[in-house]
Structure 1
Amino acid sequence: MIFKVYYQEIETEIPVRENTKTFYIDAENERAVRHILKDRPINIEYVQLLEGAYLEYEKKSEDFSLQEIN
């Protein structure tokens, strides 16, 4: 499944819409996404499942690329 992760770059930063960044990640479920990202110094605002027409729409974006997980 493909998820869109909304986050702040600074872990202690209060979420402000203008500073929100996003990236895409492939994982089994939301819990797996949060587990994979737990050691990154970011403040995760929201993890959204992308599927169907919405996923196809996001794939058309020039910013769409799956995050490499190490």
Structure 2
Amino acid sequence: MIYKVYYQESKNEVPVREKTKSMYFETNNERTVRQMLKDQKINIEYIQLLEGEYLEYEKQSEHFKLQENVSL
């Protein structure tokens, strides 16, 4: 399954839509994504499961790249 993580680069700032970034992970569940990111100094806003037509749409984006090594 592919998950899209919406996040802010700083845990200390109030989330602002214009500063929201995203990254993609292929894993079994949302818990695994959170575990992979637990040591990162980011503010996770939302983790979304991508499937079907929405996944195909995201794959066409120039920003779509599955994360292999988490180092922000």
| Matched pairs, number | 70
Gaps of 5+ in 2: none
Match of 1:33 in 2: 33
Residues 34-66 of structure 1 show CA distances to partners (whole Å, capped at 9, x for unaligned) of 111000110000000000000000001111110
Matches within 5 A, 1:1-70: 1-69=1-69
TM-score (ref. length: structure 1): 0.93
* Cα distance per residue 1:6-53 (max 9 Å; x no partner): 000012221110110001111111111111100011000000000000
Q: Secondary structure at the match of 2:33?
A: helix
Query: 1 CA distance for matches of 2:69 and 2:28?
Result: 13
After superposing on structure 2, the runs of 4+ consecutive aligned residues of structure 1 that deviate more than 6 Å are none
Q: Unaligned regions of 5+ residues in structure 1, if any?
A: none
How high is the sequence identity, in percent, across the aligned residues?
A: 66
Taking only aligned residues, the RMSD between alpha carbons, in angstroms, comes to 1.0
Distance 1:27 1:37 in 2: 13
Which SS does the other structure have where 1:61 is aligned? Answer: coil
CA–CA distance in 1 between the matches of 2:52 and 2:66? 17
